[in-house]
Structure 1
Amino acid sequence: MSRITTPFGHDSTAAEVIAGVDLTGRRGVVTGGASGIGVETARALASAGAEVTLAVRNTAAGERTAAGIIESTGNNHVFVAPIELADRESVKAFAANWDGPLHILVNNAGVMAEPLNRTPEGWEHQFATNHLGHFGLALGLHDALAAAGDARIVAVSSSAHRRSDVHLDDLHFEHRPYEPWLSYGQSKTANVLFAVEASKRWASDGIVANSLMPGGIRTALQRHIAPDLLTQWEAEYGWKTVEQGAATSVLLAASPLVQGVTGRYFEDNNEALPNMPGESTGVAAYALDPESAARLWDLSIDLLNS
Protein backbone atom coordinates (compact mmCIF):
# COMPACT_ATOMS: atom_id res chain seq x y z
CA MET A 1 0.00 0.00 0.00
CA SER A 2 1.87 3.05 -1.25
CA ARG A 3 2.06 6.27 0.74
CA ILE A 4 -0.23 9.09 -0.43
CA THR A 5 1.53 12.37 -1.16
CA THR A 6 0.32 15.66 -2.63
CA PRO A 7 1.94 18.88 -3.92
CA PHE A 8 0.91 20.58 -0.67
CA GLY A 9 2.87 20.77 2.57
CA HIS A 10 3.31 22.32 5.99
CA ASP A 11 2.75 25.92 4.90
CA SER A 12 -0.11 25.34 2.46
CA THR A 13 -3.41 27.03 3.28
CA ALA A 14 -6.96 25.76 3.03
CA ALA A 15 -7.60 28.21 0.18
CA GLU A 16 -4.63 26.85 -1.76
CA VAL A 17 -5.69 23.25 -1.23
CA ILE A 18 -9.25 23.86 -2.44
CA ALA A 19 -8.40 26.16 -5.35
CA GLY A 20 -10.14 24.92 -8.50
CA VAL A 21 -12.34 22.42 -6.64
CA ASP A 22 -16.09 22.63 -7.33
CA LEU A 23 -18.33 21.44 -4.49
CA THR A 24 -21.59 22.72 -5.94
CA GLY A 25 -24.45 20.45 -4.87
CA ARG A 26 -22.46 18.88 -2.03
CA ARG A 27 -23.38 19.25 1.62
CA GLY A 28 -21.04 19.31 4.58
CA VAL A 29 -21.09 19.44 8.38
CA VAL A 30 -18.21 20.86 10.41
CA THR A 31 -18.33 20.36 14.16
CA GLY A 32 -16.78 23.20 16.11
CA GLY A 33 -17.22 25.36 13.03
CA ALA A 34 -17.46 28.61 14.98
CA SER A 35 -13.88 28.76 16.23
CA GLY A 36 -10.28 27.96 15.37
CA ILE A 37 -9.55 25.86 12.32
CA GLY A 38 -13.23 24.90 12.13
CA VAL A 39 -14.04 28.37 10.81
CA GLU A 40 -11.46 28.17 8.04
CA THR A 41 -12.44 24.61 7.17
CA ALA A 42 -16.05 25.71 6.77
CA ARG A 43 -15.03 28.83 4.86
CA ALA A 44 -12.96 26.82 2.38
CA LEU A 45 -15.79 24.36 1.72
CA ALA A 46 -18.27 27.21 1.27
CA SER A 47 -15.87 29.02 -1.06
CA ALA A 48 -15.99 26.00 -3.36
CA GLY A 49 -19.79 26.08 -3.46
CA ALA A 50 -20.73 23.54 -0.81
CA GLU A 51 -23.66 23.91 1.54
CA VAL A 52 -22.10 23.95 5.00
CA THR A 53 -23.68 23.47 8.42
CA LEU A 54 -21.75 24.61 11.46
CA ALA A 55 -22.51 22.15 14.28
CA VAL A 56 -21.72 24.14 17.41
CA ARG A 57 -22.42 24.49 21.13
CA ASN A 58 -22.73 28.28 21.00
CA THR A 59 -25.25 29.02 18.27
CA ALA A 60 -24.90 32.80 18.67
CA ALA A 61 -21.19 32.51 17.89
CA GLY A 62 -22.12 30.15 15.08
CA GLU A 63 -24.48 32.67 13.55
CA ARG A 64 -21.81 35.38 13.65
CA THR A 65 -19.33 33.02 12.03
CA ALA A 66 -21.81 31.96 9.37
CA ALA A 67 -22.51 35.58 8.51
CA GLY A 68 -18.80 36.22 8.10
CA ILE A 69 -18.37 33.19 5.86
CA ILE A 70 -21.35 34.21 3.72
CA GLU A 71 -19.90 37.70 3.36
CA SER A 72 -16.42 36.50 2.44
CA THR A 73 -17.48 33.73 0.04
CA GLY A 74 -20.74 34.97 -1.44
CA ASN A 75 -22.25 31.57 -0.62
CA ASN A 76 -25.43 32.03 1.42
CA HIS A 77 -25.90 28.30 2.03
CA VAL A 78 -24.13 28.38 5.38
CA PHE A 79 -26.24 27.23 8.31
CA VAL A 80 -25.93 26.69 12.06
CA ALA A 81 -27.28 23.86 14.21
CA PRO A 82 -26.76 23.14 17.91
CA ILE A 83 -24.80 20.18 19.21
CA GLU A 84 -23.18 19.28 22.53
CA LEU A 85 -20.90 16.37 21.76
CA ALA A 86 -20.64 15.21 25.38
CA ASP A 87 -24.45 14.88 25.51
CA ARG A 88 -25.61 11.83 23.57
CA GLU A 89 -29.19 13.10 23.40
CA SER A 90 -27.96 16.31 21.75
CA VAL A 91 -25.96 14.27 19.26
CA LYS A 92 -28.98 12.09 18.52
CA ALA A 93 -31.14 15.17 18.01
CA PHE A 94 -28.70 16.68 15.52
CA ALA A 95 -28.67 13.48 13.48
CA ALA A 96 -32.44 13.07 13.69
CA ASN A 97 -32.96 16.61 12.39
CA TRP A 98 -30.69 16.09 9.39
CA ASP A 99 -32.59 15.64 6.14
CA GLY A 100 -31.19 14.39 2.86
CA PRO A 101 -27.72 13.22 1.84
CA LEU A 102 -24.50 14.32 3.53
CA HIS A 103 -21.30 14.34 1.49
CA ILE A 104 -18.75 15.65 3.98
CA LEU A 105 -18.54 15.21 7.77
CA VAL A 106 -15.63 16.96 9.45
CA ASN A 107 -15.32 15.85 13.08
CA ASN A 108 -13.33 18.90 14.11
CA ALA A 109 -14.50 20.04 17.55
CA GLY A 110 -12.62 19.08 20.68
CA VAL A 111 -11.34 19.83 24.15
CA MET A 112 -7.69 19.61 25.20
CA ALA A 113 -5.94 18.66 28.44
CA GLU A 114 -8.72 19.82 30.73
CA PRO A 115 -9.00 19.02 34.44
CA LEU A 116 -10.94 15.88 35.32
CA ASN A 117 -14.59 16.27 34.40
CA ARG A 118 -17.24 13.62 33.97
CA THR A 119 -20.53 13.46 32.13
CA PRO A 120 -23.71 12.39 33.97
CA GLU A 121 -22.99 8.85 32.74
CA GLY A 122 -19.60 8.95 34.45
CA TRP A 123 -17.70 9.15 31.16
CA GLU A 124 -14.44 11.08 31.21
CA HIS A 125 -15.24 14.35 29.44
CA GLN A 126 -12.39 14.52 26.93
CA PHE A 127 -13.07 10.98 25.72
CA ALA A 128 -16.81 11.66 25.70
CA THR A 129 -16.42 14.83 23.65
CA ASN A 130 -13.54 14.05 21.32
CA HIS A 131 -14.40 10.44 20.56
CA LEU A 132 -17.82 9.26 21.74
CA GLY A 133 -19.67 12.38 20.58
CA HIS A 134 -18.17 12.24 17.11
CA PHE A 135 -18.59 8.47 16.95
CA GLY A 136 -22.27 8.80 17.82
CA LEU A 137 -22.68 11.60 15.30
CA ALA A 138 -21.18 9.55 12.50
CA LEU A 139 -23.39 6.58 13.40
CA GLY A 140 -26.46 8.80 13.49
CA LEU A 141 -25.61 10.30 10.11
CA HIS A 142 -24.58 7.02 8.50
CA ASP A 143 -27.66 6.72 6.30
CA ALA A 144 -27.25 10.31 5.10
CA LEU A 145 -23.60 9.64 4.31
CA ALA A 146 -24.47 6.42 2.50
CA ALA A 147 -27.14 8.24 0.50
CA ALA A 148 -24.48 10.59 -0.86
CA GLY A 149 -22.80 7.67 -2.62
CA ASP A 150 -19.26 8.99 -2.18
CA ALA A 151 -19.15 10.60 1.25
CA ARG A 152 -16.05 11.56 3.17
CA ILE A 153 -15.53 11.55 6.95
CA VAL A 154 -12.62 13.57 8.30
CA ALA A 155 -11.50 12.91 11.88
CA VAL A 156 -9.31 15.67 13.30
CA SER A 157 -6.78 13.99 15.57
CA SER A 158 -3.47 15.32 16.92
CA SER A 159 0.20 14.50 17.30
CA ALA A 160 -0.77 14.09 20.95
CA HIS A 161 -2.16 10.68 20.01
CA ARG A 162 1.43 9.54 20.52
CA ARG A 163 1.07 10.27 24.25
CA SER A 164 -1.30 7.36 24.84
CA ASP A 165 -2.83 4.30 23.29
CA VAL A 166 -6.50 3.67 24.04
CA HIS A 167 -6.85 1.85 27.35
CA LEU A 168 -9.72 -0.39 26.38
CA ASP A 169 -10.03 -1.78 29.91
CA ASP A 170 -10.16 1.66 31.56
CA LEU A 171 -11.36 4.27 29.07
CA HIS A 172 -12.64 6.65 31.75
CA PHE A 173 -9.79 6.65 34.28
CA GLU A 174 -11.78 4.73 36.85
CA HIS A 175 -8.85 2.50 37.87
CA ARG A 176 -5.81 4.71 37.15
CA PRO A 177 -4.83 8.25 38.12
CA TYR A 178 -6.25 10.89 35.83
CA GLU A 179 -3.71 12.87 33.82
CA PRO A 180 -5.00 15.53 31.37
CA TRP A 181 -2.51 14.81 28.59
CA LEU A 182 -2.90 11.04 28.78
CA SER A 183 -6.64 11.55 28.52
CA TYR A 184 -6.29 13.88 25.55
CA GLY A 185 -3.83 11.54 23.86
CA GLN A 186 -6.15 8.58 24.34
CA SER A 187 -9.07 10.48 22.82
CA LYS A 188 -6.97 11.50 19.81
CA THR A 189 -5.82 7.92 19.27
CA ALA A 190 -9.49 6.97 19.36
CA ASN A 191 -10.14 9.43 16.51
CA VAL A 192 -7.57 7.65 14.35
CA LEU A 193 -8.90 4.20 15.26
CA PHE A 194 -12.43 5.33 14.40
CA ALA A 195 -11.34 6.23 10.88
CA VAL A 196 -9.51 2.91 10.53
CA GLU A 197 -12.61 0.90 11.42
CA ALA A 198 -15.14 3.11 9.62
CA SER A 199 -13.10 2.73 6.45
CA LYS A 200 -13.69 -1.02 6.65
CA ARG A 201 -17.26 -1.21 7.94
CA TRP A 202 -18.65 1.43 5.62
CA ALA A 203 -16.62 0.87 2.45
CA SER A 204 -19.56 -0.85 0.77
CA ASP A 205 -21.62 2.29 1.40
CA GLY A 206 -19.17 4.40 -0.57
CA ILE A 207 -17.97 6.15 2.60
CA VAL A 208 -14.29 6.90 3.12
CA ALA A 209 -12.81 7.96 6.46
CA ASN A 210 -9.41 9.43 7.22
CA SER A 211 -7.77 11.15 10.19
CA LEU A 212 -5.22 13.91 10.48
CA MET A 213 -2.92 16.04 12.57
CA PRO A 214 -3.64 19.70 11.70
CA GLY A 215 -0.44 21.08 13.20
CA GLY A 216 0.17 23.44 16.09
CA ILE A 217 -2.26 26.35 15.86
CA ARG A 218 -2.79 28.93 18.62
CA THR A 219 -6.52 28.80 19.32
CA ALA A 220 -8.96 28.65 22.24
CA LEU A 221 -8.36 24.89 22.28
CA GLN A 222 -5.31 25.58 24.46
CA ARG A 223 -7.25 27.48 27.14
CA HIS A 224 -6.28 24.88 29.77
CA ILE A 225 -2.56 25.01 28.91
CA ALA A 226 -0.09 26.95 31.03
CA PRO A 227 1.21 30.10 29.25
CA ASP A 228 4.86 29.14 29.77
CA LEU A 229 4.27 25.80 28.04
CA LEU A 230 2.63 27.56 25.10
CA THR A 231 5.63 29.87 24.87
CA GLN A 232 7.94 26.85 24.89
CA TRP A 233 5.94 25.20 22.10
CA GLU A 234 6.12 28.33 19.99
CA ALA A 235 9.89 28.52 20.41
CA GLU A 236 10.40 24.85 19.58
CA TYR A 237 7.88 24.27 16.81
CA GLY A 238 6.29 27.58 15.82
CA TRP A 239 2.59 28.00 15.15
CA LYS A 240 0.66 27.50 11.95
CA THR A 241 -1.93 30.09 11.02
CA VAL A 242 -5.54 28.91 11.23
CA GLU A 243 -5.63 28.95 7.41
CA GLN A 244 -2.65 26.59 7.34
CA GLY A 245 -4.05 24.50 10.17
CA ALA A 246 -7.28 23.87 8.27
CA ALA A 247 -5.53 22.79 5.09
CA THR A 248 -5.20 19.07 5.78
CA SER A 249 -8.83 18.83 6.90
CA VAL A 250 -9.91 20.52 3.68
CA LEU A 251 -7.67 18.26 1.59
CA LEU A 252 -9.31 15.15 3.03
CA ALA A 253 -12.79 16.65 2.85
CA ALA A 254 -12.72 17.90 -0.71
CA SER A 255 -9.60 17.39 -2.81
CA PRO A 256 -9.69 15.08 -5.83
CA LEU A 257 -6.07 14.24 -4.99
CA VAL A 258 -7.29 11.89 -2.26
CA GLN A 259 -10.40 10.54 -4.01
CA GLY A 260 -11.03 7.01 -2.77
CA VAL A 261 -8.29 7.14 -0.14
CA THR A 262 -9.48 5.73 3.17
CA GLY A 263 -8.27 4.56 6.56
CA ARG A 264 -5.14 6.72 6.51
CA TYR A 265 -3.61 9.32 8.85
CA PHE A 266 -2.31 12.57 7.35
CA GLU A 267 -0.17 15.47 8.53
CA ASP A 268 0.95 18.56 6.58
CA ASN A 269 -1.26 17.52 3.63
CA ASN A 270 0.46 14.19 3.11
CA GLU A 271 0.02 10.73 4.55
CA ALA A 272 2.17 10.48 7.66
CA LEU A 273 5.10 8.15 7.96
CA PRO A 274 5.35 5.78 10.92
CA ASN A 275 6.53 7.55 14.06
CA MET A 276 10.07 6.65 15.03
CA PRO A 277 11.52 6.91 18.56
CA GLY A 278 12.62 10.44 19.35
CA GLU A 279 10.81 11.97 16.38
CA SER A 280 8.02 14.54 16.70
CA THR A 281 6.19 13.53 13.53
CA GLY A 282 4.41 10.48 12.20
CA VAL A 283 1.72 8.11 13.36
CA ALA A 284 2.02 5.60 16.20
CA ALA A 285 1.55 2.00 15.12
CA TYR A 286 -1.05 1.38 17.83
CA ALA A 287 -3.28 4.11 16.37
CA LEU A 288 -3.63 2.10 13.16
CA ASP A 289 -4.06 -1.30 14.81
CA PRO A 290 -7.08 -3.03 13.25
CA GLU A 291 -7.81 -5.18 16.29
CA SER A 292 -7.89 -2.17 18.61
CA ALA A 293 -10.04 -0.29 16.11
CA ALA A 294 -12.62 -3.08 16.01
CA ARG A 295 -12.69 -3.46 19.81
CA LEU A 296 -13.03 0.29 20.36
CA TRP A 297 -15.93 0.43 17.89
CA ASP A 298 -17.83 -2.28 19.75
CA LEU A 299 -17.10 -0.77 23.16
CA SER A 300 -18.23 2.64 21.93
CA ILE A 301 -21.53 1.24 20.72
CA ASP A 302 -22.05 -0.48 24.07
CA LEU A 303 -21.38 2.79 25.92
CA LEU A 304 -23.77 4.81 23.77
CA ASN A 305 -26.46 2.18 24.17
CA SER A 306 -25.97 1.75 27.91
Structure 2
Amino acid sequence: MTTTSVSLRPRYEGSNICTWIGFKHVNYLVEEAVLDHLRQSGFPAGQLYERFGLCTDLVDLDTKILTAFHIDDLAQATVSRVAEDEGPLKLLVELTVERDGKTVKAVKSKVSVAFRLDPHGFDAEPVPAALAPHVVARIGGGAETIAVGDGDPLDVLTAGRNAFAWAWRIPYFYCHFTERVQMSGYLRQMEEILDLFVEDRGASIKTLLDEQNWIPVVPHSRITFTDEANMEETLYTVFTVEEVFKKFTFTARMDCYVLRDGALVRTATGRITHGWAVIENRKDWSLVNFDDRLIGAITGKAGSLSGRGAL
Protein backbone atom coordinates (compact mmCIF):
# COMPACT_ATOMS: atom_id res chain seq x y z
CA MET A 1 0.00 0.00 0.00
CA THR A 2 1.66 3.26 -1.11
CA THR A 3 -0.57 5.79 0.71
CA THR A 4 -2.53 5.45 3.95
CA SER A 5 -4.42 7.78 6.27
CA VAL A 6 -5.38 7.67 9.92
CA SER A 7 -6.87 9.98 12.57
CA LEU A 8 -4.71 10.62 15.64
CA ARG A 9 -4.82 12.70 18.81
CA PRO A 10 -1.78 13.94 20.74
CA ARG A 11 -0.99 12.46 24.14
CA TYR A 12 -1.97 14.45 27.23
CA GLU A 13 1.61 14.15 28.52
CA GLY A 14 2.75 16.51 25.74
CA SER A 15 0.56 19.40 26.89
CA ASN A 16 3.22 21.03 29.09
CA ILE A 17 2.51 24.75 28.58
CA CYS A 18 -1.17 25.80 28.49
CA THR A 19 -2.78 23.43 25.94
CA TRP A 20 0.04 23.42 23.36
CA ILE A 21 1.78 20.22 22.31
CA GLY A 22 5.57 20.20 22.26
CA PHE A 23 7.74 19.07 19.34
CA LYS A 24 8.55 15.72 20.94
CA HIS A 25 4.90 14.67 21.05
CA VAL A 26 4.27 16.03 17.58
CA ASN A 27 7.00 13.64 16.45
CA TYR A 28 5.27 10.87 18.41
CA LEU A 29 2.20 11.49 16.21
CA VAL A 30 4.42 11.11 13.15
CA GLU A 31 5.78 7.86 14.54
CA GLU A 32 2.26 6.53 15.19
CA ALA A 33 1.25 7.41 11.64
CA VAL A 34 4.25 5.46 10.29
CA LEU A 35 3.44 2.41 12.43
CA ASP A 36 -0.17 2.55 11.26
CA HIS A 37 1.00 2.76 7.64
CA LEU A 38 3.03 -0.42 8.09
CA ARG A 39 0.06 -2.07 9.80
CA GLN A 40 -2.30 -1.18 6.96
CA SER A 41 0.31 -2.43 4.49
CA GLY A 42 0.30 -5.85 6.16
CA PHE A 43 3.49 -5.40 8.19
CA PRO A 44 2.60 -4.58 11.82
CA ALA A 45 5.71 -4.01 13.92
CA GLY A 46 4.81 -6.67 16.49
CA GLN A 47 4.29 -9.36 13.88
CA LEU A 48 7.47 -8.42 12.05
CA TYR A 49 9.45 -9.02 15.22
CA GLU A 50 7.66 -12.12 16.48
CA ARG A 51 7.51 -13.98 13.14
CA PHE A 52 10.47 -12.68 11.15
CA GLY A 53 12.90 -11.34 13.74
CA LEU A 54 12.72 -7.83 12.25
CA CYS A 55 13.00 -4.78 14.49
CA THR A 56 11.17 -1.74 13.10
CA ASP A 57 13.35 1.34 13.59
CA LEU A 58 12.77 4.96 12.61
CA VAL A 59 16.36 5.89 11.76
CA ASP A 60 15.83 9.39 10.33
CA LEU A 61 13.11 11.85 11.32
CA ASP A 62 12.97 15.35 9.81
CA THR A 63 9.90 17.28 10.98
CA LYS A 64 8.65 20.80 10.28
CA ILE A 65 5.81 22.14 12.44
CA LEU A 66 3.74 24.65 10.47
CA THR A 67 1.03 25.41 13.01
CA ALA A 68 0.69 24.71 16.72
CA PHE A 69 -1.10 21.61 17.99
CA HIS A 70 -3.49 21.76 20.95
CA ILE A 71 -4.39 18.89 23.23
CA ASP A 72 -7.89 18.30 21.82
CA ASP A 73 -6.91 18.52 18.16
CA LEU A 74 -7.75 15.60 15.91
CA ALA A 75 -4.95 15.20 13.39
CA GLN A 76 -5.50 13.61 10.00
CA ALA A 77 -2.28 11.87 9.01
CA THR A 78 -1.40 10.87 5.47
CA VAL A 79 1.63 8.65 4.86
CA SER A 80 3.07 8.12 1.38
CA ARG A 81 5.96 6.04 0.04
CA VAL A 82 8.65 8.27 -1.45
CA ALA A 83 10.86 5.67 -3.14
CA GLU A 84 11.26 1.91 -3.46
CA ASP A 85 15.07 1.88 -3.56
CA GLU A 86 17.28 -0.29 -1.38
CA GLY A 87 18.19 1.08 2.02
CA PRO A 88 15.80 2.55 4.57
CA LEU A 89 12.14 2.78 3.55
CA LYS A 90 11.44 6.44 2.71
CA LEU A 91 8.10 7.91 3.79
CA LEU A 92 6.45 11.33 3.72
CA VAL A 93 4.06 12.11 6.57
CA GLU A 94 1.68 15.08 6.55
CA LEU A 95 -0.65 16.04 9.41
CA THR A 96 -3.59 18.40 9.06
CA VAL A 97 -5.97 19.91 11.62
CA GLU A 98 -9.23 21.85 11.47
CA ARG A 99 -9.02 25.58 12.23
CA ASP A 100 -12.18 27.74 12.04
CA GLY A 101 -13.82 25.32 9.65
CA LYS A 102 -10.79 25.05 7.37
CA THR A 103 -8.28 22.23 6.93
CA VAL A 104 -4.78 23.48 7.77
CA LYS A 105 -1.50 21.66 7.13
CA ALA A 106 0.18 21.40 10.53
CA VAL A 107 3.18 19.11 10.07
CA LYS A 108 5.36 17.83 7.24
CA SER A 109 7.85 15.09 8.06
CA LYS A 110 10.32 12.95 6.12
CA VAL A 111 10.90 9.57 7.75
CA SER A 112 13.30 6.70 7.04
CA VAL A 113 12.56 3.22 8.42
CA ALA A 114 15.02 0.33 8.66
CA PHE A 115 14.16 -3.26 9.57
CA ARG A 116 17.00 -4.46 11.76
CA LEU A 117 17.58 -8.21 12.09
CA ASP A 118 17.18 -9.27 15.71
CA PRO A 119 20.60 -10.27 17.08
CA HIS A 120 19.29 -12.68 19.72
CA GLY A 121 19.21 -15.80 17.53
CA PHE A 122 15.70 -17.17 18.04
CA ASP A 123 14.10 -19.09 15.17
CA ALA A 124 12.38 -16.87 12.58
CA GLU A 125 10.58 -17.19 9.28
CA PRO A 126 12.23 -15.91 6.07
CA VAL A 127 12.11 -12.14 5.62
CA PRO A 128 9.13 -10.98 3.47
CA ALA A 129 10.33 -10.23 -0.06
CA ALA A 130 8.72 -6.78 -0.07
CA LEU A 131 10.82 -5.69 2.92
CA ALA A 132 14.08 -7.42 2.00
CA PRO A 133 15.61 -4.29 0.35
CA HIS A 134 15.14 -2.40 3.63
CA VAL A 135 16.56 -5.05 6.01
CA VAL A 136 19.89 -4.42 7.74
CA ALA A 137 22.10 -6.51 10.01
CA ARG A 138 23.07 -3.38 11.97
CA ILE A 139 22.02 0.24 12.02
CA GLY A 140 24.78 2.56 10.91
CA GLY A 141 28.37 1.47 11.40
CA GLY A 142 31.52 3.28 10.37
CA ALA A 143 30.32 6.34 12.26
CA GLU A 144 32.46 9.31 13.28
CA THR A 145 34.80 8.58 16.19
CA ILE A 146 36.77 10.92 18.46
CA ALA A 147 39.84 9.72 20.35
CA VAL A 148 39.67 10.52 24.06
CA GLY A 149 43.00 9.32 25.44
CA ASP A 150 43.28 10.36 29.08
CA GLY A 151 40.87 13.26 28.70
CA ASP A 152 37.38 13.60 30.11
CA PRO A 153 34.85 12.96 27.30
CA LEU A 154 32.78 15.99 28.31
CA ASP A 155 35.80 18.26 28.08
CA VAL A 156 36.83 16.76 24.74
CA LEU A 157 33.36 17.36 23.28
CA THR A 158 33.06 21.00 24.39
CA ALA A 159 36.62 22.37 24.21
CA GLY A 160 36.69 25.70 22.38
CA ARG A 161 33.07 25.46 21.26
CA ASN A 162 29.83 27.20 22.12
CA ALA A 163 28.49 23.94 23.48
CA PHE A 164 27.10 22.07 26.46
CA ALA A 165 27.61 18.34 27.05
CA TRP A 166 25.91 15.87 29.37
CA ALA A 167 26.78 12.32 30.40
CA TRP A 168 23.88 9.98 31.11
CA ARG A 169 23.42 6.25 31.74
CA ILE A 170 20.95 4.75 29.24
CA PRO A 171 18.02 3.13 31.10
CA TYR A 172 15.91 0.30 29.73
CA PHE A 173 12.83 2.51 29.25
CA TYR A 174 14.56 4.55 26.53
CA CYS A 175 15.17 1.33 24.58
CA HIS A 176 13.20 -1.16 22.51
CA PHE A 177 13.66 -4.63 21.06
CA THR A 178 15.39 -5.59 24.29
CA GLU A 179 18.43 -3.32 24.28
CA ARG A 180 18.76 -0.46 21.77
CA VAL A 181 17.90 3.22 22.16
CA GLN A 182 14.89 4.04 19.99
CA MET A 183 13.96 7.26 18.19
CA SER A 184 11.70 8.47 21.01
CA GLY A 185 14.67 8.15 23.37
CA TYR A 186 16.73 10.54 21.26
CA LEU A 187 13.79 12.94 21.02
CA ARG A 188 13.72 13.04 24.81
CA GLN A 189 17.48 13.68 24.81
CA MET A 190 17.02 16.58 22.39
CA GLU A 191 14.36 18.07 24.62
CA GLU A 192 16.39 17.67 27.81
CA ILE A 193 19.72 18.91 26.50
CA LEU A 194 18.14 22.25 25.55
CA ASP A 195 16.66 22.52 29.03
CA LEU A 196 20.05 21.85 30.63
CA PHE A 197 21.86 24.18 28.21
CA VAL A 198 19.78 27.29 28.94
CA GLU A 199 19.80 26.56 32.68
CA ASP A 200 23.60 26.32 32.58
CA ARG A 201 23.68 29.71 30.83
CA GLY A 202 21.46 31.43 33.42
CA ALA A 203 18.30 31.61 31.30
CA SER A 204 16.36 28.54 32.39
CA ILE A 205 12.91 27.72 31.04
CA LYS A 206 11.36 28.48 34.45
CA THR A 207 13.25 31.76 34.81
CA LEU A 208 12.01 33.16 31.50
CA LEU A 209 8.51 31.84 32.16
CA ASP A 210 8.32 33.44 35.60
CA GLU A 211 9.91 36.76 34.69
CA GLN A 212 8.74 37.35 31.11
CA ASN A 213 5.98 34.81 30.37
CA TRP A 214 8.19 33.35 27.63
CA ILE A 215 8.25 29.75 26.47
CA PRO A 216 10.51 27.94 23.95
CA VAL A 217 9.01 26.82 20.64
CA VAL A 218 10.43 24.46 18.02
CA PRO A 219 9.45 24.78 14.34
CA HIS A 220 11.96 22.23 12.99
CA SER A 221 13.80 19.17 14.32
CA ARG A 222 15.78 16.35 12.80
CA ILE A 223 17.48 13.24 14.21
CA THR A 224 19.51 10.68 12.25
CA PHE A 225 20.93 7.40 13.57
CA THR A 226 24.60 6.83 12.75
CA ASP A 227 25.22 3.75 14.92
CA GLU A 228 23.58 1.83 17.76
CA ALA A 229 23.53 2.76 21.45
CA ASN A 230 22.72 0.10 24.01
CA MET A 231 21.10 -0.13 27.40
CA GLU A 232 23.34 0.84 30.33
CA GLU A 233 26.03 2.39 28.17
CA THR A 234 26.90 5.99 29.02
CA LEU A 235 25.54 8.37 26.39
CA TYR A 236 27.47 11.61 25.92
CA THR A 237 25.17 14.24 24.40
CA VAL A 238 26.63 17.53 23.17
CA PHE A 239 24.51 20.55 22.20
CA THR A 240 26.33 23.03 19.95
CA VAL A 241 24.87 26.39 18.92
CA GLU A 242 25.37 26.97 15.18
CA GLU A 243 23.56 30.12 14.10
CA VAL A 244 21.34 32.88 15.46
CA PHE A 245 18.92 34.31 12.90
CA LYS A 246 18.02 37.99 13.42
CA LYS A 247 17.47 37.52 17.19
CA PHE A 248 14.38 35.51 16.32
CA THR A 249 15.45 31.86 16.16
CA PHE A 250 18.63 29.87 16.60
CA THR A 251 19.76 26.51 15.30
CA ALA A 252 21.77 24.00 17.26
CA ARG A 253 23.24 20.58 16.59
CA MET A 254 22.86 17.60 18.90
CA ASP A 255 25.42 14.80 18.70
CA CYS A 256 25.28 11.64 20.82
CA TYR A 257 28.24 9.38 21.52
CA VAL A 258 29.12 6.25 23.46
CA LEU A 259 32.65 5.46 24.67
CA ARG A 260 34.08 2.24 23.21
CA ASP A 261 37.73 1.13 23.25
CA GLY A 262 39.00 4.58 24.18
CA ALA A 263 37.06 6.43 21.47
CA LEU A 264 33.75 8.26 21.35
CA VAL A 265 31.51 6.67 18.68
CA ARG A 266 28.73 8.90 17.37
CA THR A 267 25.39 7.07 17.49
CA ALA A 268 23.04 9.88 16.46
CA THR A 269 23.13 13.42 15.18
CA GLY A 270 20.43 16.02 14.80
CA ARG A 271 19.49 19.65 14.49
CA ILE A 272 16.83 21.74 16.11
CA THR A 273 15.50 25.25 15.49
CA HIS A 274 14.38 27.15 18.57
CA GLY A 275 12.52 30.37 19.15
CA TRP A 276 10.79 31.90 22.14
CA ALA A 277 7.18 33.02 22.37
CA VAL A 278 5.19 35.11 24.82
CA ILE A 279 2.01 33.61 26.26
CA GLU A 280 -0.78 36.03 25.30
CA ASN A 281 -3.67 34.11 26.86
CA ARG A 282 -4.67 30.51 27.54
CA LYS A 283 -5.02 29.84 23.82
CA ASP A 284 -2.57 32.05 21.92
CA TRP A 285 1.14 32.85 21.81
CA SER A 286 3.39 34.82 19.46
CA LEU A 287 7.11 34.75 18.70
CA VAL A 288 9.32 37.42 20.27
CA ASN A 289 12.77 38.78 19.53
CA PHE A 290 15.51 37.56 21.86
CA ASP A 291 16.49 40.07 24.52
CA ASP A 292 20.09 40.72 25.61
CA ARG A 293 19.98 38.09 28.35
CA LEU A 294 18.82 35.36 26.01
CA ILE A 295 21.23 36.38 23.24
CA GLY A 296 24.06 36.31 25.75
CA ALA A 297 23.07 32.86 26.93
CA ILE A 298 22.75 31.43 23.43
CA THR A 299 25.96 32.93 22.06
CA GLY A 300 28.01 32.29 25.20
CA LYS A 301 28.72 35.99 25.74
CA ALA A 302 27.04 35.86 29.15
CA GLY A 303 29.61 33.38 30.47
CA SER A 304 31.83 30.52 29.45
CA LEU A 305 31.57 29.11 25.94
CA SER A 306 31.15 25.54 27.11
CA GLY A 307 29.44 23.66 29.90
CA ARG A 308 29.04 20.15 31.19
CA GLY A 309 26.51 18.10 33.09
CA ALA A 310 26.96 15.23 35.49
CA LEU A 311 25.56 11.73 35.38
TM-score range, shorter chain: under 0.3
Structure showing the higher strand proportion among its residues: 2
State the structure with more CA Rg. Answer: 2
Q: TM-score, normalised by structure 2?
A: 0.27
Q: Quick one: higher RCO (CA 8 Å, sep 6+), 1 or 2?
A: 1
What is the TM-score when the length of structure 1 is the normalising length?
Answer: 0.27
